Chain A
Amino acid sequence: MKTLADLNKGYSAEIEWIDTSGPGVLRLMMLGLVEGAAVRHRGTAIGGDPLELSVYGASISVRREQARYFKVNGNAAEASSGLIP
């Protein structure tokens, strides 16, 4: 199953299921990464890690290994760029 870590840059997808036992996952949920939220991959630092994700206008930086706890639905779509998705 695809996770947030597998999204390509510029694409967005909806979170379907979260493994809440993962380290730090609860804090990410408090920032708005919850089931049903549409998340866009905005870019990475050098080496591809950490990721910059955005959820309804808010950018959040997350490490790749943490992003794996967030499963997304299969139909990722290319989102329009622009500052606010």
Chain B
Amino acid sequence: MSKPGPGEPQGQTETSIPLSSISIRHRPRHRYAVIGNPNSGKSTLFNRLTGLRQTTGNYPGVTVERHTGTVELKGTAAELIDLPGIYALGGQSTDERIAVDALLGRIDSKPDGLLVVVDATHLYQGLYLLEQLIELQLPMLVALTMSDMARAGGIAIDTDLLSRHLGGIAVVEVTATTGLGVSDLKSELATLHEAPVPVIGQSWPELSQLAQQLADQCGNLDRMDVIQALLLPGGAHDQLASAAMGPDVIPGARNELFGSEPPQAVEARQRYRWAREVRSAVQHEAPLLERFGAKVLAWVNRPWPATALFFLSLVLVFQAVFSWATPLMDAIDAGAAGLGAWVTASLGNGVVASFLADGIIAGVGSVIIFLPQILILFLFIIILEDTGYLARAAFLMDSAMRRVGLSGQSVIPMLSSFACAVPAIMATRVIPDRRDRISTILASPFMTCSARLPIYALLIAAFVPNQSVGWFNLQGLVLFGLYLLGIAGGLMTARLMKSTALRGPKPHFMLALPDFRRPNLQTVMIKLMDRARIFLKRAGTVIFSVAVIVWALAYFPRMDTEAPLPEPVNGQSLENQRAAAQMSQSYLGRIGKVVEPVFEPLGWDWKVSSAVIAGFPAREVVVAVMGTLYAVGSEADEGSLTQKLRAATWPDGRAIFTLPMVLGLMVFYAWCLQCAATVAVIRRETNSWRWPLFAWTYMSAVAYLGAFAVFQVGSLLTGPA
């Protein structure tokens, strides 16, 4: 997918049109913003309308993601811009500001019209946003989604009457998940640009009229600009307006409209009263029979069963990640090993063969192996998200989070960090208080993300005995312990921050709880494919380049093959001794020797130390580098990485990978911020280098000390290694 550069005209996302395509593709002629409440089915409808013709880029000049797509209409096409899901236009969260800025044309050119997504089962809140949007004076079209859910819930909506209450805006009922009604929606979309601008809002005509009057007087401000200025004292629009009209006009109007009340309270009161009236006029509810499903939900929705179910589902996720993925991983592993052996067999022992077999197949391949595991993990998290269960978890965990000074709102980002901290940190945008938001951002990278799975899986499989402890498997328990370690690190960090640098008032907690929904296969698959693409792209770029560099550093300079071996060690084949000697005089070996003393107190030799250092841009690299180092370091290519790690020794023959060393290494890995993408997203979301630098230094220090303590104490307990 190409990203449109800032200077490029809109709609040129497709550069070439395949000649073979039968349907004629049109250049989009109009741009419509798609907006609606969170969980209204906006993304599902957007995917339905645009299919694969989607692009993700940035708004020109600002680092805010801009998601657009093209919809084919009868004889024409339109570009759709997906705005963040919001409840109201006046809010101060990051998402709400982005939406308002895009609608008013502040960070993008103004859209030609609006497609407003309204959940038929949440008409009350949908109408509120609609009334606010009408003030924009743009052509509008309403997609009434979840029509199937409404019908199942005994709700019937008179769309004609609703349209009349909305000043003539067309209303189309759709079911985004099945596509029902989407063709009607498309034919309305085709003529949206010429639809009349909706009649002035009816929920609060006094506001609209006064704002119109002031806008007319002033000349260079829109009605919506004035409304924003009136409703948000001290905001950007307020400053604009007082610059344009003098400092007294807006406060005077405010006094007339709101008296001494906060403007937003008056707005909510006015518009929701109207929303209530319209809703009861257009919506007919059949008396709902108690359905079996509803009874089950009501039973599960009690405090203890719900909490128990939550923990049970987490256990299921971890179990699945390990047991379901194994056959697939074994297959990839066998494939990679076979490929490596075949390359060596057919190309001999030259530079090219080593580059392919040791650098690329052993390096990148050892990371790709974990694709099945990572996808299974993501599958669960996406399903939790899609069914509305993550929000439910936030509700259940609120009182626990209160102990560390945060609220349930931080639970959603922390749970999604089990997949990846980058989207999780972006998800903190909904947390209104800045201190709570930063504390959550700092806690999130501690959660065990999917990129940590490879090293855990490798080390656990190699060094933790596969035996059962009571009902459980020891390997599974160690993995579970590592997850707990991550959670503990994150929560203690949040606690620490909230009682020191980020001390603030007790956070309040409010969250819209979506209804339970059956996950939609198409939505889940689109999101899953997206994650697979991101993972493979990382493997193909960052991990690939690091693996190549490390291979080159480990392979060159070549040693004189005739030279006598430095110190003959008994019981090792001549080949392996030669390979080891070559390795230790390579560039990487020389660098490794320099840093070795730093990590010696953790029990690491220079190979492990270099692998960990190479892993700072992306932690999966550690596995890739170990794969390369141990492949280059042994002339015989048979044997998996696991076996090579088990066989690794210090020069005096002691094993390197002892249990205390391995546990320490995993503790290091659990707490260290080895991820450039996370550092970059913290920088972007906090808008300063201070927090990412702090997070990096703090987490590295904690990781080092943790690994040091585990290794030293463990070695004392197990006797001299």
Q: Mark B274-309, 1 if CB is under 8 A from A, else 0.
A: 011001000001001010001001100111101100
Q: A50 — which chain B residues lie within 8 A by C-beta?
A: 395, 398-399, 408, 509
Closest A residue to B304 using CB positions: A46
Partner pick for B396 among A37, A46, A55, CB 8 A cutoff: A46
Bound-state Cα–Cα, A55 to B275, Å:
12
B398 touching A59, Cβ below 8 Å: no
The answer to whether B512 has its CB under 8 Å from any CB of chain A is yes
* B298 contact from A28, A44, A46, A81, Cβ within 8 A: A81
Q: Is the CB of B513 within 8 A of A60?
A: yes
Q: How far is the CA of A43 from the CA of B275 in the complex (A)?
A: 25
User: Count the A-B residue pairs with Cβ separation under 8 angstroms: how many?
Assistant: 139
Instruction: Give the interface size class of chain B.
Output: 35 or more
- Report the Cα distance A34→B408, complex, angstroms: 23
Chain B residue nearest in CB terms to A24: B508
- Chain A residues, Cβ within 8 Å of B394: 61
Q: Is the interface of B mostly helix, strand, loop or mixed?
A: helix
B 72-104 binary contact with A (CB < 8 Å = 1; else 0): 000000000000000110110000000000000
Answer yes or no: A35 CB below 8 A from chain B CBs. Answer: yes
Q: Which one, B118-126, B607-615, B645-653, is touching chain A?
A: B118-126
Q: A20-B262, A23-B508, A61-B398 are in contact. Are A32 and B128 (CB under 8 A)?
A: yes
B153 in the interface (beta carbon within 8 A) = yes
Q: Is A74 an interface residue (CB 8 A)?
A: no
Contact A52-B395, Cβ < 8 Å, known A20-B262, A45-B307: yes
Within 8 A of A (CB), among B175-203: none
Interface digits, A3-47 against B, CB 8 Å rule (1 contact, 0 not)?
Answer: 000000000000000101001111111111011110000111111
* A76 close to B (CB within 8 Å): no
B288 touches A82 (CB 8 A): yes
**C-alpha gap A83/B154 in the complex (Å):** 10
In the complex, what distance in Å separates the CA atom of A44 from the CA atom of B304? 10
State whether the Cβ of A58 lies closer than 8 Å to any Cβ in chain B: yes
In whole angstroms, how far apart are the Cα atoms of A26 and B115 in the complex?
Answer: 27
Give A35 to B285 CA distance when docked, in angstroms: 23
Q: Which residues of chain A are within 8 angstroms of B303 by Cβ–Cβ distance? A: 43-48
- Chain A's interface size range is 35 or more
**Interchain CB contact under 8 A, A27 and B432:** yes
- B511 close to A61 (CB less than 8 A): yes
How far, in Å, is A40 (CB) from chain B's closest CB?
Answer: 13
Residues of A within 8 A of B294 (CB): 81-83
Given contacts A28-B510, A60-B513, A63-B509, contact A45 B122 (CB under 8 A): no
Stretch at the interface among B242-250, B263-271, B356-364: B263-271
A49 in the interface, Cβ–Cβ < 8 Å?
A: yes
Residues on the B chain within 8 Å of A48, using CB: 303
Which parts of B207-256 form the interface with A (CB within 8 Å)? none
Q: CB of A1 within 8 A of chain B?
A: no
Contact of B515 among A18, A49, A59, A80 (CB under 8 A): A59
Interface centre among A24, A37, A59 (most CB of B within 10 A): A59
B272 at the interface (CB under 8 A from A): yes
Task: Give residues 389-404 of B contacting A (CB, 8 Å).
Answer: 391, 394-399
In the bound assembly, the distance between CA atoms of A35 and B272 in angstroms comes to 9
Q: Is the CB of A83 within 8 A of B304?
A: no
Chain B positions within 8 Å of A27 at CB level: 91, 432, 510
CB distance from B155 to the nearest CB of A (A): 7
**Contact between A45 and B269 (Cβ–Cβ < 8 Å)?**
no
A10 to B715, CA, bound (A): 59
Q: Which of A29, A36, A58, A81 has the most CB of B within 10 A?
A: A58
* Complex alpha-carbon distance, A43 and B513, angstroms: 12
Q: Are A46 and B509 in contact (CB under 8 A)?
A: no
Given contacts A36-B276, A52-B395, contact A30 B511 (CB under 8 A): no
Residue on B nearest A82 in the bound complex, by CB: B288
B273 cross-chain contacts in A, Cβ below 8 A = 34, 36
Given known contacts A42-B301, A81-B294, A26 and B396 CB-to-CB distance under 8 angstroms: no
Docked-complex contact B513 and A59, CB < 8 angstroms: yes
Chain A residue with minimal CB distance to B396?
A45
The residue in chain A whose Cβ has the minimal distance to the Cβ of B88 is A30
| B307 contacts A56, C-beta separation under 8 Å | no
CA distance in complex: A27, B262 (Å): 12
Pick the contact of A26 from B87, B121, B153, B265 — CB < 8 Å? B265
Question: What CA separation (Å) do A23 and B302 show in the bound complex?
Answer: 28
Q: With contacts A29-B268, A46-B303 known, is A66 near B508, CB below 8 A?
A: yes
Residues of B near A46 (CB, < 8 A) are 303-304, 307, 396, 399
B261 within 8 A of A: yes
Q: In the complex where A50-B398, A82-B290, A83-B153 touch, is A30 in contact with B513 (Cβ < 8 A)? A: no
Nearest B residue to A55 by beta-carbon distance? B124
B719 at the interface (CB under 8 A from A): no
Residue ranges of B at the interface with A (Cβ–Cβ < 8 Å): 87-88, 90-91, 121-125, 128, 153-155, 261-262, 264-265, 268-269, 272-273, 275-276, 279, 285, 288, 290, 294, 297-298, 301-304, 306-307, 391, 394-399, 408, 432, 505, 508-515
27 interchain pairs (CB within 8 A)?
A27-B510, A29-B268, A29-B269, A29-B272, A30-B87, A30-B268, A34-B268, A34-B273, A45-B397, A46-B307, A49-B399, A50-B395, A50-B398, A50-B399, A58-B512, A59-B514, A61-B398, A61-B510, A61-B511, A62-B510, A65-B508, A81-B294, A82-B288, A83-B288, A84-B154, A84-B155, A84-B288
- Shortest 9 CB-CB contacts between residues of A and residues of B: A24-B508, A56-B124, A29-B268, A59-B513, A46-B303, A20-B265, A30-B88, A34-B272, A61-B511
5 additional A-B pairs beyond A27-B91, A29-B265, beta carbons within 8 Å, are: A36-B276, A45-B307, A50-B408, A55-B124, A66-B510
